[in-house]
Structure 1
């Protein structure tokens, strides 16, 4: 598809990533003269795939936050006689948090850095949750740190519309027994009953993400059903058990264990409460440290990483 022009406007130049819902290309918007990222679903063999892809456009296009990737356009085109759907998003410079973490090994990001990133994630999640949307796949690969130091949430392709008016249901989008998400970051209710989960499921996944960023690994490890069983039944270790210096931040331990509670009612009520608890936790560990609603920008990592997908 290199060199193809979609809708007489978007020239695909280089593949830069792939995700569950399609492949991502760097492209040139020839009408405006700017670089963009274009996510393409090259084959619409199943109606559910097309439905999910179109829904991603509606979901992301309806959200306005500096911490959610901006959607510029959505359309359908024919390439070599084949129908394709595409999303046109802002072109991001930077790296996902998985790549950032790998670039620091054997070291780890500081608690202050992680807290600053997490507050921005909470801001983006709060925007989505107020719109009745739960992301369902919060993980390092779906959180982008730009070269300017801003956090962006990517890939709402499997987001679940929670509003009563939403037309999509689990029957529309999944088969019986099929679980959507990433097992290492999946909430217990997402495993048990994904048709009834709410925004607190994202908060559990955020707890898994924070555990990973602070300690180098998620709270539970393994593959397939083994890790799902741990989410359902095992008690996680506090981060300080793996990284002793975190004992100086008892509020972070306590918050992450609350986020990882098996029952949604035992977690913080919403992303705004999580952000407030994060600020309090880092301030208690380092008196005088302030993490604002828009935290200080973190230095950009140097190694290359895939673009959003």
Structure 2
């Protein structure tokens, strides 16, 4: 029996078969289990009935589990599922890890070489950087919550456990808070501000605790230790930490300074983030990109935490809404914002300027041609004729404004007769008859045919229906700008 709650062989949540106990404390039990359908081995932590007397503990248990799910770092233990037992006790399903925590590693190996200890601390810093960026404070960083396992390629991999979980005060000899209590953390690792008020701490409290872990990995002992919790608290609040080199010869003064800055009681003199600590440790490790990676993780998490929530709607509703908006914009003649953005692109602005210049040059050329021809005296008419009608004048100006082909365009095909000659007899009469109704003098040796009735009206109507001439594309016509 595991505290009267579960036993080997029990199936939790209808899918996790309990195998054996991995650990137990005053608040709960951790067991190894296997998914009955997938065969996946997991670790399940659940609260004991004694800890359920205060509903706040169960709520905090599930709230912290939901927070841990947000962590994506490879150095944070993954939370896979949460649920409740038949009696209402909550449980948390986590990834199963093979290895041991750093406290057991230290007991087995003794003080670690500086480069190994620093490498472990940098791995922990990466997990804390993401948590801090998301606004989560661990409040119980200690060697027992840092688990040493192996990555896929066999390299040592440190994972952080128990984000934000409350611990209890245990018997003499283990002053971890493993009984139900409102105090968070372990006294040897707690910062001065956390001892005063656990609710008012920020990420710099975890920096203190991480400095204690580094101190312990280098020397084999914590900087503040005493037989009782009260004595430990008094030392943390009042006494300065001794340099690590005082307990372990061979440690450099520069490394002493880094560790002692983590343990500054004045918050303003302490490292302000795990990223700043990582840059200070960069000189003592061969992983040159560790500090920048940790800084990037922290900033990325901060962007995620401050990003506005994404609203997910039904695909059909989204398509219908976007389609209705687009149709409304087109019906009203107002461009959409995407169209405005395309119009404001530099290459499009340049194209518009080029078209405008081409139109300006073309219009100027037409005006100069009309002015030049208008200034020449009429050679074919013996005397000034009455002013032509506006429609006939417009037709004549269009024909005259067309520039004559130059010597370079001799191979260009002649323009279509449909463009130069109006169709029908009436149109031919209109071409040889001025607007005043007088017949135009014919060429010598060719009798002039009398004008048909209503020639002026026919010419005007024919001119209006004549389609505009096609633009020339030869040299000098403006086509080389297109």
Match in the other structure for 1:156: 163
Q: Deviations over 1:247-301 (max 9, x none)?
A: 3xx3221111100000221111111111111112x15xxxxx445429xxxxxxx
Tell me whether 1:52 sits opposite 2:57 in the alignment: no
Match in the other structure for 1:230: 235
Larger RCO, structures 1/2 (Cα 8 Å, 6+ apart) = 1
SS of equivalent residue, structure 1 residue 152: strand
Match in the other structure for 2:189: 185
Tell me whether 1:94 sits opposite 2:99 in the alignment: yes
Which residue of 287, 290, 294 corresponds with 1:293? Answer: 290
Match in the other structure for 1:3: 9
Match in the other structure for 1:41: 47
Match in the other structure for 2:453: none
Give the distance between the partners of 2:25 and 2:146, measured in 1 at CA: 13
Aligned residues: 265
Match in the other structure for 2:279: 276
Runs of 4+ aligned structure 1 residues displaced above 3 Å come to 289-292
Q: Deviations over 1:117-148 (max 9, x none)?
A: 01111100001000101100111100011033
Q: Is contact 1:179–1:190 with CA below 8 Å preserved after alignment?
A: no
Q: Is contact 2:79–2:95 with CA below 8 Å preserved after alignment?
A: yes
Tell me whether 1:253 sits opposite 2:275 in the alignment: no
Task: Summarize the Cα distance change of 1:158–1:20 in structure 2 as closer, same or farther, 3 Å threshold.
Answer: farther
Give the distance between the partners of 2:130 and 2:218, measured in 1 at CA: 25
Give the distance between the partners of 2:27 and 2:95, measured in 1 at CA: 17
Which residue of 74, 93, 96 corresponds with 2:82? Answer: 74
Match in the other structure for 1:210: 214
SS of equivalent residue, structure 1 residue 179: coil
Which residue of 110, 113, 132 corresponds with 1:110? Answer: 113
Match in the other structure for 1:169: none
Tell me whether 1:23 sits opposite 2:29 in the alignment: yes
SS of equivalent residue, structure 1 residue 245: coil
Q: Is contact 1:42–1:83 with CA below 8 Å preserved after alignment?
A: no
Q: Cα offset for 1:61?
A: 1.0
Q: Cα offset for 1:53?
A: 1.1
Give the distance between the partners of 1:21 and 1:53, measured in 2 at CA: 10
Q: Is contact 1:116–1:291 with CA below 8 Å preserved after alignment?
A: no
Tell me whether 1:63 sits opposite 2:60 in the alignment: no
Q: Which has the higher helix share?
A: 2
Give the distance between the partners of 1:126 and 1:220, measured in 2 at CA: 26
Task: Summarize the Cα distance change of 1:34–1:46 in structure 2 as closer, same or farther, 3 Å threshold.
Answer: same
RMSD: 1.7
Q: Cα offset for 1:31?
A: 2.6
Give the distance between the partners of 2:246 and 2:96, measured in 1 at CA: 39
Q: Is contact 2:146–2:159 with CA below 8 Å preserved after alignment?
A: yes
Q: Which has the higher strand share?
A: 1
Q: Is contact 1:55–1:157 with CA below 8 Å preserved after alignment?
A: no
SS of equivalent residue, structure 2 residue 85: strand
Give the distance between the partners of 1:20 and 1:205, measured in 2 at CA: 23
Give the distance between the partners of 1:63 and 1:257, measured in 2 at CA: 29
Q: Cα offset for 1:42?
A: 3.1
Give the distance between the partners of 2:95 and 2:223, measured in 1 at CA: 33
Give the distance between the partners of 1:259 and 1:208, measured in 2 at CA: 8
- In the alignment, structure 1 segments of 5+ residues that lack a partner are 160-173, 284-288, 295-309
Larger-Rg structure? 2
TM-score normalised by length of structure 2: 0.53
SS of equivalent residue, structure 2 residue 194: helix
Q: Cα offset for 1:27?
A: 0.2
Q: Is contact 1:21–1:53 with CA below 8 Å preserved after alignment?
A: no
Give the distance between the partners of 1:132 and 1:83, measured in 2 at CA: 29
Q: Deviations over 1:135-189 (max 9, x none)?
A: 0011110001103311100011437xxxxxxxxxxxxxx98xx431100000000
Which residue of 104, 123, 127 corresponds with 1:124? Answer: 127
